[in-house]
Amino acid sequence: KLRGTAKPLIGVLVPSLRNPFFADLMQSMEEHANNQVELIFQAAKDADFKANIENLVERGVNGLVIARTVERAEETFTFLKQHGVAVTVLDQANDTGMADVLTTDDYHGGQLVGEFLVNQGHQSVALIIPDIVTNNMQRRIDGFKNQWLAETRQLFEIKTVLSKHGGLAVSAKVAQLVSSGVTAAFTLNDELGIGLSRGLRNIGVKIPTDLSIIGYDNTDYSEFVNPALTTVTQPVWQLGQRALDMVTDRLKHPSMPYQAEELAVIRLVERESTQALT
Ligand code: RIB
């Protein structure tokens, strides 16, 4: 049921338009769409998820890329199927077998961070975790722990909101850990890392002399902040392109078996926010 223009209309739901990771993702989709596909981007908070989906269906989308956790997954996919909407879920694995899924190797990304901090000689680390741990974040945490906890090392977990403000908000707690011997923090995304770095510098903790900080995503901003953030590069460009391809393929071949694809993380990028312990 493609609309009269013959250009498919694809809705893209992300958790936040502010997070530069999603800005990069949207930019990638926009460029890849190359005027062959029309895109509508929308940010959906947990509480508004159903309303957002219904709204996009009312606006006549042919396909959806859902780049966030799918609330009440079976009900949602059934509703979308009834309306003939093709769906690709991005970043969040789901076991319903009712949609195409595109993820990245978060487990390996977490392992890269664990391995790096071990090789830099750290023994005691703070892990800054979002208050809502999504499926991909959990894989990141598991990969990290797989490396970090292979030998007896100290790990302190702190939960906060997944944003720059969330990182800022836990800086006093992290500063206390620094006084008791923590030498590095792994924040599960760049935004948390940037917020934490700002908060710690405000209270006199020096990065990386007193504490190394490592983020995740390698968003556009991470090399421009001061100190520039050490982080893990996600294949965000490829992610946007592939998600769009998957959803448009599904429109062309509605009955093909659902696909689950995983992209490799690119690499860890070492910048100024971390230092090896001598
Ligand atoms: O920064 C946003 C995070 O949410 C990213 O790490 C990405 O994986 C997304 O799920």
Query: Which atom of ligand 1 approaches the CA of 191 most closely?
Result: 1
Mean pLDDT for 7-24 is 93
The atom of ligand 1 lying closest to the CA of 190 is 1
pLDDT of residue 135: 93
State the Cα angle at 127 between 119 and 197, rounded to 5°.
90
Contacts of 190 (CB under 8 A, 6+ apart): 20, 21, 215, 216, 217, 218, 219, 221, 222, 229, 231
Shortest CA distance to 217 belongs to which of 237, 196, 199?
Answer: 237
Task: Return the residue whose CA atom lies nearest to atom 3 of ligand 1.
Answer: 189
Q: Is 21 in the pocket of ligand 1 (CB under 6 A)?
A: yes
| pLDDT tens-digit readout, 158-199 | 999 999 999 999 999 999 999 999 999 999 999 999 999 999
> Mutation test of ligand 1: which of 137, 218, 229, 238 has the most ligand atoms closer than 8 Å to its C-beta?
137
What band does 227 get if pLDDT is binned at 50, 70 and 90?
very high
Q: What percent of the chain has pLDDT over 90?
A: 89
Q: How far, in Å, from the CA of 6 to the mean position of ligand 1? A: 33
Spacing, Cα 159 to ligand 1 middle (Å) = 16
pLDDT at 215 over 70: yes
Q: What would the two tokens of residue 58 be? A: 């009312």
pLDDT digit string (tens) for 243-270? 999 999 999 999 999 999 999 999 999 9
Shortest CA distance to 197 belongs to which of 217, 183, 212? 212
Take residue 263 and report the two structure tokens written for it: 């992209």
Planar angle of CA 151, 155, 159, nearest 5 degrees: 150
In tens, the pLDDT along 105-145 reads 999 999 999 999 999 999 999 999 999 999 999 999 999 99
> For ligand 1, is residue 49 a contact (CB within 6 Å)?
no
Q: Ligand 1 in contact with 147 (CB < 6 A)?
A: no
189 lines ligand 1 (CB under 6 A): yes
**Which residue's CA is minimally distant from atom 8 of ligand 1?**
91
pLDDT, residue 250, reads 96
